[in-house]
Structure 1
Amino acid sequence: MTRATRVLAASAALAAGLAACSAAEPAPESSTPAAEDWSPVTIEHALGTTTIESRPERVATVSWANHEVPLALGIVPVGMAAANFGDDDGDGLLPWVEEALTELDAQAPVLFDETDGIDFEAVADTAPDVILAAYSGLTQEDYDTLSEIAPVVAYPETAWGTSWRDMIELNSAGLGMAEEGAALVAELEEEIADAAAAAPQLAGTSAMFLTHVDTTDLSEVSFYTTHDTRAMFFEDLGLTVPPSVAELSAQTDRFALTHSAEQADAFDDVDLIVTYGGEELVAALEADPLLSQMPAVANGAIVSLPGDGPLGTAANPTPLSISWVLEDYVALLAQAADAGA
């Protein structure tokens, strides 16, 4: 039995009567526990306060990965964002989402094309009772527009800075399934702890996640701050935040920053680097007279993830992707940590 199957079974036991249905059917409805058990839910977030007066029967989600919370809890949304990064077969669904739909014996719901931002008309067409967006970059204008359609669960503090735990907590609360959400968090924490324990070389190793590296111009270094979920996930796995990254992150609420390569010596405290790219990128870093002096580069302690595939996508942890990628990701990190030791 897979982790997703165990979670679905536990959710069914906690909330009898859960039944998923596909949005491909006429007038689809995403089933949630019995309405008579509902008490109004009020959720405070960065863009306001949302009160959900009655149990939502039709759940829509926007932005990255929010749909994974209802899916993990046995609910198929009536509409959700299509994957626009890491989609290996072009169907708008990442593999762990496809697996969840298969386990629920459900077809894919309506997929919103968010290439140019939120498709408000498409969301409205699904007639949702609630819109989940706990992990998102919604503007106040986006939030206000969506709120005219249905109550919206937005991010708690920082745009694109919601941890996977908070994503589950907020979105499950919006479904009236806070208890089930807490159980899901606990199970994932146990799974992550077991994986980290099996790779003791990660403990105390400082890690930095480089992003948008241009091999034709290495005059600048861009990296994810501690406000980004990729960097947050390092700490879940026993890795530490380099003081240099922590100091720069404390000066902003942005999820990424850019630093001059001439100041690459500021990152002398980085033991391990994770980035998106292939052998060409690693070779470029090793050949650069400035960046090659960073300990992680000099020691070959680099994890280079495919930016256009599921593995690279799952480095940004989400409720369903964590189990799907954990073993492979930890193995790559451990290999890099050994190289830098």
Structure 2
Amino acid sequence: MTTNRWRTTLTTAVAVIALTTLAACGGGSGDDTAAADPDGRFPVTVEHEFGETTVAAEPQRIVVAGLTEQDTVLQLGFTPVATTEWYGQQPDAVWPWAHDLLGSAKPTVLNNTDGPQYEEIAKLRPDLIIAVNAGLDQEMYQQLAKIAPTVAQPQGGTQYFSPWDEQAVQTAKALGREAEGRQIVEDTKAAYAKVAAEHPEFAGRTATFAQGLAYDGLLYAYQDGLSTEFLTYLGFAITPGLEKYSKGPGIQAAIPEEKLDVIDADVIVFATEEDENLDNLRAMPTFDTLKAVQQNRAVYTDGTLAGALYFITPLSLMYALDRITPHLEAAVKGESPQEVGG
């Protein structure tokens, strides 16, 4: 991949023509009607950044309009009729840690490059749109809400990548599974706490999480609290000062190559995806001056592990835990292989 993993702003160039008519014509036929609710979970009302949304009955035609919510939808036992491609071109826009949960289903894959595909979504006749990590603003939300009940990012959250646990619970609420969602979050954190207890050598050491290649002389790194939980839950402390290079909440720090020393730490995790990424990093004149690089304390992930660290959902975090821990063990000892996926 040669594009920055996170788009911080999205604009929509979609002309919404006869949108309300499309939605109105999308009333479900016999097979699409909401299932009975013997457990009394519905209706549920979910508060979000743009107000609140009531889901009247258990949804049968769920459209995932955000980049990563498919993981939690699948983990909670639901199968979406549509997912949204972020990056990686994975089958059905679902990565390996979640794909088995799809079974034989083949959801429609949407694209969010220019904002939600309103007309395509309307044609799918959804009874619930989950857009917790979809970059929504008020206008986008209102357009989606004309099609079907839409659940947006949590109140006070960012357009993209609000805290992973809040995203998971928000998605679970929309599905009438709040308790189950909270349990999944608790179990995920407990798994990390167990590994942290088994590795006291991680405690208090500084760590940086950075993308796996530079763009136009900039390397994007993640300040504390922005997709860094896989490190902090294990006891590491995120390298301070990165936030000075970020343009705002939810936006990565853009580090110029001449300032690259600010990412130096006891351990650096680079989200590399292929060998060429490491070549790209080494082409930065200041890369080899980093002590973590010189002393074999830098980790270079493979492509799927990089995706898991970017996705930061309960499923991807559990996938990452088993795979990043040996890398971190080696890096702390100064024995990290200096190759992608090593």
The interval holding the TM-score normalised by the smaller chain is 0.7 to 0.9
Superposed CA deviations along residues 38-73 of structure 1, whole A, max 9, x for unmatched, are 24413132xx11221512423221122212222111
Deviation at 1:165, TM superposition (A): 0.8
**Contact 1:193/1:237 (8 A) holds in 2:** yes
**Contact 2:53/2:151 (8 A) holds in 1:** no
CA separation in 1, counterparts of 2:214 and 2:263? 18
CA separation in 2, counterparts of 1:86 and 1:274? 23
In structure 2, relative to structure 1, the CA distance for the partners of 1:286 and 1:214 (3 Å cut) is closer
**Contact 1:223/1:256 (8 A) holds in 2:** yes
In structure 2, relative to structure 1, the CA distance for the partners of 1:290 and 1:125 (3 Å cut) is same
Q: Which amino acid aligns with 1:55?
A: A
2:306 maps to 1:312:
yes
**Contact 2:204/2:237 (8 A) holds in 1:** yes
Q: Which TM-score applies when normalising by structure 1? A: 0.77
Q: How does 1:48-87 map to 2 (within 5 A)?
A: 48-58=50-60, 59-82=62-85, 84-85=87-88, 87=90
Instruction: Quote the residue 1:242 is aligned against.
Output: 239
Deviation at 1:291, TM superposition (A): 3.3
Q: Secondary structure at the match of 1:63?
A: coil
Instruction: Quote the residue 1:203 is aligned against.
Output: 203
Q: Which amino acid aligns with 2:74?
A: L
2:230 maps to 1:233:
yes
Q: Which amino acid aligns with 2:118?
A: F
Superposed CA deviations along residues 151-207 of structure 1, whole A, max 9, x for unmatched, are 222122112232221111111111221111111112212222223333333222212
CA separation in 2, counterparts of 1:29 and 1:339? 58
Instruction: Quote the residue 1:8 is aligned against.
Output: none
Superposed CA deviations along residues 127-168 of structure 1, whole A, max 9, x for unmatched, are 222211222322333222111112222122112232221111
Instruction: Quote the residue 1:98 is aligned against.
Output: 99
Superposed CA deviations along residues 255-282 of structure 1, whole A, max 9, x for unmatched, are 21222232334445x2221223355554
In structure 2, relative to structure 1, the CA distance for the partners of 1:76 and 1:29 (3 Å cut) is farther
CA separation in 1, counterparts of 2:165 and 2:202? 21
Q: Which TM-score applies when normalising by structure 2? A: 0.77
Instruction: Quote the residue 2:214 is aligned against.
Output: 214
Q: Which amino acid aligns with 2:308?
A: A
- How many residue pairs get aligned? The number is 303
Deviation at 1:238, TM superposition (A): 1.8
Q: Which amino acid aligns with 1:84?
A: Y
Q: Secondary structure at the match of 2:59?
A: coil
In structure 2, relative to structure 1, the CA distance for the partners of 1:225 and 1:166 (3 Å cut) is same
**Contact 2:220/2:253 (8 A) holds in 1:** yes
CA separation in 2, counterparts of 1:300 and 1:257? 24
In structure 2, relative to structure 1, the CA distance for the partners of 1:60 and 1:279 (3 Å cut) is closer
Instruction: Quote the residue 1:11 is aligned against.
Output: none
What is the percent sequence identity of the aligned residues? 25
In structure 2, relative to structure 1, the CA distance for the partners of 1:33 and 1:205 (3 Å cut) is farther
Instruction: Quote the residue 2:21 is aligned against.
Output: none
In structure 2, relative to structure 1, the CA distance for the partners of 1:34 and 1:276 (3 Å cut) is same
2:170 maps to 1:170:
yes
**Contact 2:132/2:153 (8 A) holds in 1:** yes
In structure 2, relative to structure 1, the CA distance for the partners of 1:258 and 1:175 (3 Å cut) is same
